[in-house]
Amino acid sequence: MSSFSFLTYKYKTINLSDVFLGTQNWFFKRYLDGKNYSIDNPVFFDSYWNSLEDMDFAYEKLIEDEQIAAKTQKFAWSPKLGYLAPTLSSCGTGLKVNVSFHLLGSYLMGELDAIKESLKAMRFNILKLDCDDAGQFYAIENDSSFGIDTHSLYQRIREVIINIATAEACSRYTLLKSKTSPLSDYTHRNLAIARNCRLMSRQELMDIFSAFRLASQLKLIKLPNPNNLERVMQTALGCECAFMEEFGLNIAKSQSNAELFKNPVFLATILRDYSKSIKFTALGKKVLQ
């Protein structure tokens, strides 16, 4: 996998695993055969990974866990359909993947629509992670596991994941290399808004954090705490309470986190305070001049 993991640029190396957001997972369900069969009580298997280097190991772990379970349990299976499930799309191998991507580079380069169309043609679902459609964060999963053996399906999904990661990394490479790319304006514009805003919507907040994440991964800006921002991006996409905790905020119990997360004055205050400590790196001053 190491040959797929990096793109070399004049100033730095782009890690393909940077395009992922959070923890990814392989998973499938198995239904017991005979009298024990129940659509309401499947046996669930999953395995988690964080980078391309871990992807193969996680898949092998998933298969190993299933093989161990199959020694003591009989799963519903048909010679024609493979493993049986309540829906046809879940029959066959049952293997599914859920991968979260940050595709801001592809968006800025105008390549995102082509990626979406390609995934649709290959029967993959691509869903926005954010409820407000912000930040260019996407979850990608295969639509069907029917009509193909487990290992062949794994290889197909694996290839798609690597191709998306490579396409996003290439877009980031082009953003860095091209003197006419929108990266400089996009970064300066978002930083200026963050430092001077008085009202901020949740959607715009996520867009700005998305810009900060990309610029930080490209070593163009130095964040006060990059790991903190990474956790914020993950938690804010699904849990306002966790978002508040990441900033170390002491919120009065009388006002819910959900209400605060919709308060434009409150969000603007968070963003102004956070962005004060953001600095351009030496590379950032060269690329973003």
CATH of the domain at 68: 3.30.590.10
Tens-digit pLDDT profile for the chain (289 aa)? 334 455 555 545 678 888 988 788 999 888 887 655 566 678 889 999 988 889 999 999 999 999 999 898 888 888 888 888 887 777 888 888 999 899 999 999 999 999 999 999 988 999 888 766 778 989 899 887 777 888 999 999 999 999 999 999 999 999 988 888 899 999 999 999 999 999 988 888 889 989 999 999 999 999 877 666 666 665 555 555 445 454 544 444 445 556 666 788 888 988 888 888 899 999 899 888 7
Q: What is the pLDDT of residues 216-266, one digit of tens each?
A: 999 999 987 766 666 666 555 555 544 545 454 444 444 555 666 678 888
* pTM of the entire predicted model: 0.85
Could you tell me if 74 and 96 lie in one domain?
yes
Give CB contacts under 8 A, 24+ apart, made by 80-89: 81/146, 82/146, 83/28, 83/30, 83/31, 84/31, 85/29, 85/31, 85/39, 85/42, 86/31, 86/39, 88/146, 89/143, 89/144, 89/145, 89/146
Look at residues 177, 206, 239 and tell me which one is the last residue of a structural domain. 177
Other Cβ atoms within 10 Å of 263 Cβ, number: 15
Domain around 141: 2-177
Distances (CA, A) of 288 to 177, 182, 184, 206, 212: 11, 10, 5, 22, 13
Could you tell me if 202 and 134 lie in one domain?
no
- Number of structural domains (the chain) is 2
